Structure 1
Amino acid sequence: MAAVRVLLVGAGGMGRAHLRNLLALRDVEIAGIVDPSSAAIATTKHISGAVESTPEFSSLKAALEAVQADAAVIVTPHAEHFEQGQMCLQRGLHVLMEKPFVAGSVNARALIEMAQQAGRHLAVSYQRRLQGPYVYLKTLIESGELGEIRYATAYQAQSWLESQRGTWRQNRELSCGGQLNDSGSHLVDVMLWLIGRQPKSVFAHTDNRGTEVDIDSALTIRFEHDVICTLNVVGSASIQWWEDVAIHGSKGTALYRNGELLVAKGVHSELRPVAAEDLPVTTNPDENFIDLILGRISAPAATAESGYQVARLTEAAWESSEQQRWIAF
Structure 2
Amino acid sequence: MYSGRNFMSEKLRLGVIGAGLKAAEYAESWVKMPEIEFAALADTTAASRQRLIDVCLAAGAPEPKSFEDYRQMLAECRGELDIVYVSTPHAFHAEQATAVAEAGLDLFLEKPMVTTVAEAERLIAAQKKSGVTIVTAFQGGLSPLVFDTRRRALAGEFGELIAISGMIWESWSSNYDGHWKQQPDISGGGFMFDTGAHMMNTVCLLANSDFDSVSAYMNNHGRQVDIATAVSARLKNGALATLTAAGEGPPGCASYITFFYSKAIVRIDAWGGWREIRIGRTAEPREEAEILGNPMKNFLAIREGKMENSGSVEMGLRFARLWDAIKESAAADGASVRIVAQ
- Output the TM-score relative to the length of structure 2: 0.87
Equivalences, count = 324
Deviations 1:42-62 (A, max 9, x none): 333444424462222222123
Distance apart, 1:24 and its partner CA: 4.6
Once the two structures are superposed, residues 74-126 of structure 1 have per-residue CA deviations (whole angstroms, 9 ceiling, x without a partner) of 10011222222232223221222111112311011011101211222222112
1:151·1:227 contact (CA, 8 Å) conserved in 2?
Answer: yes
1:186 aligned partner: 198
Choose the corresponding residue for 1:229, options 231, 241, 250: 241
Q: SS of the counterpart of 2:243? A: strand
Determine what percentage of the aligned residue pairs are the same residue. Answer: 23
Matched, 1:37 2:51: no
Asked if the contact 2:139/2:292 (under 8 Å) is kept, the reply is: no
The answer to whether the 8 Å contact 2:93/2:113 transfers is yes
Q: Tell me which residue corresponds to 1:176.
A: 188
| Alpha-carbon distance, 1:140 to partner | 3.2
1:86 to 1:200, Cα distance in 2 relative to 1, 3 A? closer
Taking a change above 3 Å as real, the CA distance of residues 297 and 191 of structure 1, as seen in their structure-2 partners, is same
Give 3-state SS (helix, strand or coil) of 1:231's partner.
Answer: strand
Q: For the Cα contact (< 8 Å) 1:4–1:290, is it kept in 2?
A: no
CA contact (8 A) 1:136 1:280 kept: no
Residue 68 of structure 2 corresponds to 58
Select 2:314's aligned residue among 279, 299, 305.
305
Which one has the bigger helix percentage?
1
**Which residue pairs with 1:76 in the alignment?**
88
Instruction: Report the TM-score, using the length of structure 1 for normalisation.
Output: 0.90
Whether 2:277 is the aligned partner of 1:263: answer yes
Q: Specify whether residues 198 and 87 from structure 1 end up closer, same or farther in structure 2 by C-alpha distance, changes over 3 A only.
A: closer
The alignment partner of 1:225 has SS state of coil
User: What aligned pairs does 1:113-128 form with structure 2 within 5 A after superposition?
Assistant: 113-128=125-140
Q: Distance in 2 between matches of 1:20 and 1:129?
A: 22
Code of the aligned partner of 2:31: L
Matched, 1:22 2:8: no
Deviation at 1:256? 2.4
- 1:85 aligned counterpart, secondary structure: helix
Identify the match of residue 208 of structure 1 among 212, 220, 223. Answer: 220
Unaligned runs of 5+ in 2: 1-5
Residues 131-142 of structure 1 correspond to what in structure 2 (within 5 A)?
Answer: 131-142=143-154
Higher relative contact order (CA 8 A, sep 6+): 1
| Cα shift at 1:135 | 2.4
Q: Does the 8 Å contact 2:210/2:318 carry over to 1?
A: no
Alpha-carbon distance change, 135 to 313 in structure 1, aligned in 2, over 3 angstroms: same
**Is the Cα–Cα contact under 8 Å of residues 260 and 273 in structure 1 kept in the other structure?**
no
State the alpha-carbon separation in 1 of the partners of residues 96 and 141 from structure 2.
Answer: 25
- The answer to whether residue 302 in structure 2 is matched with residue 316 in structure 1 is no
Q: Partners of 2:155 and 2:190 in 1: how far apart? A: 36
